[in-house]
Structure formats: structure tokens, C-alpha cells
Copies of this chain bind each other. A is one copy, B any other.
């Protein structure tokens, strides 16, 4: 951990978490921040450890996952730059309910529990922003929960890909949209299915020219088609009238 150099203040101010704060407040916040580097395949924290720190991710990709007694993993979220790690849990001093692993080399700002609470009590705006970010995550999780309850595997995988493209590349990138450092296993753990099923689905989509599949990467050619797959409701024998309603 090294003290944050001045040049970083710029970057800090751009984060959604700090929207609407005054110069002075930003300065205080920045003074209490430390910069951490977390190399690929190592952990920000493990499930069960005391939640002492929260992070604002500057560079890299982070996988938030929970593991159950049987050893099965579930991916709750993938984070990218600008996202906030462990805001929720750091307020109540419960243990981390899940683990955060760097999928690529990461750089993040870190604050500890006490300063976090203190800062929020000083500037309500910070608490409100935090709540807002939690809200977004909450909505996403709610939707994924509904999908897991009601949709078939193929649809869920399609949605997962769409979601990843939106949040990772922030849209702008050219077709074919790339998804890197993403294993079939990851996709399976995101959608509540198995490695095997994901593999079959990807193969089938590749044959249809929908995407190009590679080791730890996919390149999506026809996003629109994925969308129609995701929204396609057909609990019925092949060749069904599109739906009477």
C-alpha cells in the first residue's frame, strides 16, 4: 500500500460514487485512501474473513463468488473499473459473505471500515451514492434470480453474454464484441448451469455463425440474435404458431 499520488485525484473525482461531492470532501476522502495492487488469480478477500476494507476498482476485472458447503461455486457478479467492492458489508461488521478474486491484474483504492462509516456520517451524499450503487446491483440480482427461476438455460446464457458486453465494453466497441478472460466454467457459474451445457450451447451458436468461440474468449457477431434468443418464449413442440395473443 502506497499513499495516493496527487495525479490520482482526477480519477477519483470521476467515480460515480463521488458524484456531487465538494472539492474539500473529495480531498478528505482521498487522504484516507490507499492504493492497492492485486495480481491476477489472487484475492481481494475471502468469504468468511472479517470485512475490514472496501474498494473502488480502478483497473482490472474482479470475480465475486460464493461457494457452498458442497464446494460448488456461484458467481454473483463480475466487476470492472469504477465499480465498488464490498460497500454493503463494510457497514455492518459482519464477515465477507463471498470472495473477490482478480481475474486480471487489478489496481484499486481502499478504505477501511471506520473511515468509511466516518466519511459517510460527514457527507450524507456519499452514503446516498453508495446506496444508489447498491440499488443497481440489487436490481440486477433480482432480475437474475427471476431468470434463474423462470427461464431455460439457453436464454440465461444469452442474457449473461448481453449483460457482460454492456457492462464491460460500455457499448462503444466495434463488432465483433469481444469477451476476454471468460471461461465456459465462469459462464456456467453465472447462469446456474454446468460447464458442459454451456459448451454445447456455445458450439451450437458458433455453428449458426452467431459468435466465434475460443479458449477463454468469445467474439459476438450477432448481438441482436442473442437478444431474440433471450426473449424467445417457447415452452412447446417445435414449429409452434408464434403465439396467438
Q: Give chain A's interface residues, CB within 8 Å of chain B.
A: 66, 68-70, 72, 74, 76, 88-89, 91-92, 97-98, 117, 120-125, 127-128, 130-132, 134-139, 141-146, 148-151, 189, 192, 231, 233, 235
Residue among A98, A120, A128, A144 having the largest count of chain B Cβ atoms under 10 Å = A128
The distance from the CB of A124 to the nearest CB of chain B, in whole angstroms, is 4
Which B residues touch A150, using CB under 8 A? 68, 70, 72, 74, 192
State whether A120 and B124 are in contact (beta carbons under 8 Å apart), knowing that A70-B233, A74-B149 are contacts in the complex: yes
Count of this chain's copies in the oligomeric assembly: 2
The distance from the CB of A123 to the nearest CB of chain B, in whole angstroms, is 8
The distance from the CB of A241 to the nearest CB of chain B, in whole angstroms, is 15
State whether A131 and B233 are in contact (beta carbons under 8 Å apart), knowing that A141-B138, A145-B141, A148-B149 are contacts in the complex: no
Could you pull out 14 A-B pairs where Cβ atoms are within 8 angstroms? A74-B150, A76-B142, A91-B128, A91-B131, A92-B135, A97-B142, A120-B124, A122-B124, A127-B127, A130-B131, A134-B134, A134-B135, A141-B142, A141-B145
How many angstroms from the CA of A125 to the CA of B141 in the assembled complex? 26
Known: A66-B143, A97-B143. 14 other contacts (CB 8 A): A69-B231, A69-B233, A72-B150, A74-B145, A76-B142, A88-B131, A92-B135, A97-B139, A121-B124, A123-B124, A124-B124, A124-B127, A127-B127, A148-B192
How many angstroms from the CA of A98 to the CA of B142 in the assembled complex? 10
Chain B residue with the shortest CB-CB distance to A141: B141
